[in-house]
Chains A and B, each alone.
Chain A
Amino acid sequence: AQSVTQLDSQVPVFEEAPVELRCNYSSSVSVYLFWYVQYPNQGLQLLLKYLSGSTLVESINGFEAEFNKSQTSFHLRKPSVHISDTAEYFCAVSPAGNMLTFGGGTRLMVKP
Chain B
Amino acid sequence: DTGVSQDPRHKITKRGQNVTFRCDPISEHNRLYWYRQTLGQGPEFLTYFQNEAQLEKSRLLSDRFSAERPKGSFSTLEIQRTEQGDSAMYLCASSLGGVITEAFFGQGTRLTVV
Check if A28 is an interface residue, CB within 8 A of chain B. no
In the complex, chain B residues whose CB is within 8 Å of the CB of A90: 42-43
Docked CA distance A109–B100 (Å): 31
Docked CA distance A86–B72 (Å): 37
A105:B101 contact, CB within 8 angstroms: no
Whole-angstrom distance from the CB of A90 to the nearest CB of chain B?
5
Known: A102-B44, A103-B42, A104-B41. A97 touches B107 (CB 8 A): no
Q: Which of B78-114 contact A (CB under 8 A)?
A: 91, 93, 95, 98-108
Whole-angstrom distance from the CB of A100 to the nearest CB of chain B?
6
In the complex, chain B residues whose CB is within 8 Å of the CB of A49: 100, 102
8 Å CB contact of A44 from B48, B91, B95, B99: B91
Check if B65 is an interface residue, CB within 8 A of chain A. no
Known: A51-B100, A96-B99, A97-B100. A42 touches B41 (CB 8 A): no
Count of A-B residue pairs with CB < 8 Å:
58
B101:A4 contact, CB within 8 angstroms: no
Nearest to A45 among chain B residues (CB) is B105
Q: Which of B53-75 contact A (CB under 8 A)?
A: 56, 59
In this complex, how many residues of chain A approach chain B with their Cβ under 8 Å: the count is 25
8 Å CB contact of B45 from A36, A43, A44, A101: A101
B4:A43 contact, CB within 8 angstroms: yes
Main secondary structure of the interface of B (DSSP, over half): loop
In the complex, chain A residues whose CB is within 8 Å of the CB of B35: 100
For this complex, 27 residue pairs linking A to B, each with C-beta atoms less than 8 Å apart, are A6-B42, A32-B100, A41-B107, A43-B106, A43-B107, A43-B108, A44-B43, A44-B91, A44-B93, A44-B105, A45-B105, A46-B103, A49-B102, A51-B100, A92-B42, A96-B99, A97-B98, A97-B101, A98-B95, A99-B33, A99-B48, A99-B59, A100-B33, A100-B35, A102-B43, A102-B44, A105-B42
Q: Besides A44-B105, A90-B43, A103-B42, 10 other CB < 8 A contacts? A: A4-B42, A43-B104, A43-B108, A49-B102, A51-B100, A96-B99, A99-B45, A100-B43, A102-B43, A105-B42
